Structure 1
Amino acid sequence: RLLNAELAHRMKNVLAMIGAVANQTFRSASSLDEAQVTFGERVAALGEAHTILTQSSWSGAPIRAVIEGALAPHRIAAGRVLLSGPALELGAKQSLTLALAINELATNAIKYGALSGEGGQVAISWRIGSPESEELFAFGWSESGGPPVNAPARKGFGSRLLERVVALDFQGRVSLDYRQEGLRYALETTMSAIANAEPVHAN
């Protein structure tokens, strides 16, 4: 019974997240067709993260697997996205949030950034510790080789997710920098903040 209750709680949270994503997507889209495509991509990213979390009974997910799962639906050519960082596990909430964030960044890169033409690349990196703190966790998304990028005229759900939701769920600081040479996105937080998983206990 305890296991079923935990699983029901997880499913309720996921459905609430999907409902919120649907609401924001259809409210901010310029057309129904655009909303359907965007919503499908966001749900696919959540679905990949959900599959990974299910394999560990929602105790956590490897960060590399979460990133690769979120990128998979976009069918990006090999060599265009480079990943580097140590093996580590994210908590369940952080896994879902990062999956959504990676989907937003990838969508933006494909439409307007480094992945919109030939030759551009994206470097995704994460690291643990710094001279100032062993507890530091830093994540970065860096684009190069694409067209010049500019900040959007208005901020939609994607921008709010990257700037507010990620900062809240990871209890950290984020920066979104629209440089001429390519978009830069960075997150800094603590190791304890990325791993506050709530495991499902079997009786």
Structure 2
Amino acid sequence: MMVDESSRSRIAALEADNARLRRLLDQQDAPGELRHRLRGTVALLRMIIRKSSESRSDLDSYMGLLEDRLDAIARVQSIADEQGAIELQKLLADELLHYRPLEGVRVRLAGPELALQPRMGQVFALAVHELTVNAIEHGALGSDTGRVDIKWRVSAAGTESKLIFVWNENDTATVGKPSRQGFGTEVLTRTLVYELRATTNLEFEPDGLRCTIEFPLP
């Protein structure tokens, strides 16, 4: 991305704030769990800042993308601060409502009550954000006829349970596989693997995207 001196200064300021927070965590006698959670959040923010700069060619677009992604993290963090965990259906509803009303025939949610740990909820919220924005800009929620069916269930195998999450778009418009992998694809196929030990399957069907995500639950 080509940026001017003012842009570099703004980006450098964000990086400097993160560096100061990391030093503060190292110096202060913070509880181990809090220290670990904050370090994880800082690392996630650094990744968002860095990767967002690679996907747009001008500062306004970059800042718009960055603010949207940081807002998604902030929304789910506020849930964790209030409740200590992140209820999956609320995470989905909050993200979708942020962009448009949940219309019964346009977006359908179906699945059991499930609470995610804060770190897990943060990472998964970023994935849901990228799916939502993609559906609005390129997929089923960008037209008057498309809809999204979101289903999830918990599968138990031995001593381990895992979440099986399916995001299924349906529209009459033809949806093709993107010509390049952007930030959203990286979150779904790499970040989720690293952070949650997830497996993600993306299928670009003629009537819309089908995304299946599976990861173990503690």
Provide the C-alpha distance between the structure 2 equivalents of 1:77 and 1:87, rounded to a whole number of angstroms.
Answer: 19
- Given that residues 88 and 113 in structure 2 are in contact (C-alpha distance below 8 angstroms), is that contact kept between their aligned partners in structure 1? yes
Tell me which residue corresponds to 2:60.
33
Please tell me whether the aligned partners of residues 117 and 146 of structure 1 are also in contact (alpha carbons under 8 angstroms): no
Normalising by structure 2, what TM-score? 0.78
**Distance (whole Å) between structure 2 residues aligned to residue 84 and residue 168 of structure 1:** 27
Count of residues in correspondence between the two structures: 189
Structure that is richer in helix per residue:
2
Mapping of 1:47-196 within 5 angstroms? Answer: 47-57=74-84, 60-79=85-104, 80-129=106-155, 135-189=161-215, 193-195=216-218
CA drift of 1:145 comes to 2.0
TM-score, normalised to structure 1, is 0.83
CA distance in 2: counterparts of 1:23 and 1:48, whole angstroms? 21
Structure 1, residues 80-122: CA drift from partner, whole Å, max 9, x if none? 2111100111122210111101110011110111001102111
Aligned residue number for residue 16 of structure 1:
43
> Alpha carbons of 1:55 and 1:146: their partners in 2 closer, same or farther (altered >3 Å)?
farther
Describe the SS at the equivalent of 2:140: coil
Contact 2:112 2:152 in 1 (8 A): yes
Q: Is the 8 Å Cα contact of residues 83 and 124 (structure 1) preserved in structure 2? A: yes
Q: Which amino acid in structure 2 is aligned with residue 23 of structure 1?
A: R
Long gaps (5+) in structure 2: 1-27
- Report deviation, 1:142: 0.2
Rg (Cα) greater in structure = 2
Contact 1:115 1:146 in 2 (8 A): no
Could you tell me how far apart the structure 1 residues matched to 2:118 and 2:214 are? 18
**Structure 1 unmatched ranges of 5 or more:** 196-203
Q: Which amino acid aligns with 1:71?
A: L
CA displacement, residues 46-81 of structure 1 (integer Å, 9 cap, x when unaligned) = 011100111134xx2211122222223212452221
State how far apart, in whole Å, the 2-side matches of 1:32 and 1:166 are. Answer: 27
